[in-house]
Structure 1
Amino acid sequence: MKNKFFTHPPRWVYGLIAILTTCTIFFAQPVQAISIWDIIRGGAQVLQGIQLGSMSPEREMALGGQIDQQIKQQLAGNGTPVVRNDHLATQYINAIGQRMVDKLTPAERRNINFTFQVVNDPNVNAFATMGGFVYINAGLMVLADTEAELAGVIGHEMGHIIERHAIKQMRERAIQQGILSAAGLNQAQVIQLGVEVALNLPNSRSDENDSDTLGLSIMRRVGYHPQGMANFMAKLASQGGGRGMTILSTHPNPGDRVNSITQQIANNPPTQTEMGGMDTQAYCLEIRRVVSNRIQCS
């Protein structure tokens, strides 16, 4: 009698042969080992998305850099590009900004790499986004009468970054739009919100006051006269109905802020080391050199 196992093997044998053949083909290929923890971590990242409330400085700077690129593209499309890093105006703004960065305390986010840029726009405006990116319009540089006034604006924008105001606004905007979930936001959503907040959305009264107070403190550490900030704010308040005051759409309440800044200065008068940047003639000549030689200095 013939052995039935060899002449007619059970049906499960064919399945076993197929499995062994597949495994042989698969494991014959060189592959990189992937642990179960890699898979779990990867899945967690996909599920969680980007959490605006708990973001490392490295993550913030990386996303801020992408927002910065989108802002530059939009500004260039509007005919008001960000000027090159080697431009005299950018070098001038960056020199002031970096001196102020050097005076930050560890609690004021010295681990953020601040970038100061000039927008080739005659309108009066300044804004910032997450990750340390500050933008100053050429029109604002011309409107200021002293370097202390300009430093006050730069310090104010630094205050927004230090206090994470843009991130807070982005989160609030995401809630309003119904796109924020427990899973967080995807990268495209974060970038879109970042551009919208930087260019279009007004800051709250509380955020403006906090940034004024912090900016005032920073500029004083460098040696700038704090009256410079008050003077420029008063200028905005007096010319609020004038042409080109784009800054008032995103930085409201200049009159109230003048009173607050003036009171802070009265409560803490400047020392002899906080009298700098008030020379109008020197500033005008500097702006003539770095912005436009058509500027007339008396």
Structure 2
Amino acid sequence: MSLRRPIIAAIAALALTAGPAQAQFDPRLLNLLRGGIQLFQGLNFSNLNPNQEVQLGRQMNQQMLSQRFRPNRDRILAAYVNDVGQRLAAESDRPDLPWQFQVVDSREINAFATMGGYVYITTGMLGFLSNEAELAGVLAHEIGHIEGRHLPQRLGQSYLQQAGLSALGVDSDRFTQVAVDLALNRPNSRSAEFDADARGLRIMERAGYAPAGLISVMNKLAGLGNNGITFLSTHPDSRERARALTAQLNGDRNRMNQGFGLDDWTYRQQVLARL
């Protein structure tokens, strides 16, 4: 007898443990996924436990760094960016994730996050920024996406749309490709972006950075217009985001500039001089 029928039956049994409106993620399905079995519409990836999230993030990281991006080889630059990221991540609501902040070689002005603590920033974005508070703002925004589990929330439905309901035999490599495409090329919802901004601003303040850094980045991006800038093409209007962040601080100028990281000269020496 073919193995396909009992495997399909096993998946069906797992999928039926909850009705469509209240379906919960069953960790046993990850093992079936590795065997090349399709996902069912009831899956809710926002219920991945941290170990599963880290595992999927690691798979995505391997694929991105082998097929799409080249890690920057300047160890001093990488250590600097990672130190800033770790300081921020320690103040997030998910400090126990194995956070990794990586610099990748690309002229694109971009930064992005996947899941499980994996955050990336391009050399193009580093060159666009003016000080450490702006860098902290960008990284804190990406931490906000992971803290809010925004990618897992979108993953199940996107997989079904791209791989198809009849995609029996699709393996974990295909699943990872869909997840990478979702993280890099498909915009988050407006609510997810504004949520990541709000979380990022809170994280910055907890870590001691001047919140003005994140608002400054939004205003600088707004000044560029949407002229092929990757970060802009996958995010809502930057002016609107800057206004929302200012409102979050109640328009308090003193609060905006309270904290460290606004020294442009230090950033030029530690980052811009190394690009």
TM-score bucket of the superposed structures, by smaller chain: 0.7 to 0.9
| Aligned position for 2:61 | 68
| Aligned position for 2:267 | 283
Q: Which whole-Å CA distance do the structure 2 matches of 1:209 and 1:271 have between them?
A: 20
Percent identity, please. Answer: 38
Q: Which whole-Å CA distance do the structure 2 matches of 1:224 and 1:172 have between them?
A: 37
Q: Which whole-Å CA distance do the structure 2 matches of 1:180 and 1:118 have between them?
A: 36
- How many Å apart are 1:180 and its aligned residue? 6.0
| Aligned position for 1:159 | 144
Find 1:94's aligned residue among 82, 87, 90: 82
Number of matched pairs: 240
Question: Cα distance 1:263–1:75, how it changes in 2: closer, same or farther (>3 A)?
Answer: same
- How many Å apart are 1:279 and its aligned residue? 1.1
Unaligned runs of 5+ in 2: 1-9, 15-27, 34-38
| Aligned position for 2:113 | 128
Find 1:266's aligned residue among 247, 250, 253: 250
1:52-95 CA distance string (max 9 Å, x none): 2431111110111011010112224xxxx1224x6122111100
Q: Is the 8 A contact 1:63 1:131 kept in 2?
A: yes
- How many Å apart are 1:186 and its aligned residue? 5.3
Q: Is the 8 A contact 1:149 1:228 kept in 2?
A: yes
**Secondary structure in 2 aligned to 1:119?**
strand
RMSD: 2.7
Letter in structure 2 aligned against 1:285: Q
| Aligned position for 2:212 | 227
- How many Å apart are 1:254 and its aligned residue? 1.1
Q: Which whole-Å CA distance do the structure 2 matches of 1:206 and 1:123 have between them?
A: 24
Q: Is the 8 A contact 1:153 1:229 kept in 2?
A: yes
Q: Which whole-Å CA distance do the structure 1 matches of 2:214 and 2:46 have between them?
A: 31
| Aligned position for 1:35 | none
| Aligned position for 2:52 | 59
Normalised by the size of structure 1, how large is the TM-score? 0.73
Q: Is the 8 A contact 1:174 1:180 kept in 2?
A: no
Q: Is the 8 A contact 1:96 1:151 kept in 2?
A: yes
Alignment of 1:1-298 (within 5 A): 45=28, 49=33, 51=43, 52-76=45-69, 81-84=70-73, 87-104=75-92, 108-177=93-162, 179=164, 187-242=172-227, 245-266=229-250, 271=255, 274-289=258-273, 291-292=274-275
Question: Cα distance 1:276–1:180, how it changes in 2: closer, same or farther (>3 A)?
Answer: farther
Letter in structure 2 aligned against 1:65: R
1:168-210 CA distance string (max 9 Å, x none): 22223124336469x9x85234312211112111111101000
Question: Cα distance 1:264–1:194, how it changes in 2: closer, same or farther (>3 A)?
Answer: same
Unaligned runs of 5+ in 1: 1-39, 293-298
| Aligned position for 2:4 | none
Q: Which whole-Å CA distance do the structure 2 matches of 1:130 and 1:272 have between them?
A: 29
- How many Å apart are 1:255 and its aligned residue? 1.7
Question: Cα distance 1:61–1:273, how it changes in 2: closer, same or farther (>3 A)?
Answer: same
Question: Cα distance 1:215–1:270, how it changes in 2: closer, same or farther (>3 A)?
Answer: farther
Q: Which whole-Å CA distance do the structure 2 matches of 1:211 and 1:268 have between them?
A: 21
Letter in structure 2 aligned against 1:114: W
Question: Cα distance 1:186–1:53, how it changes in 2: closer, same or farther (>3 A)?
Answer: farther
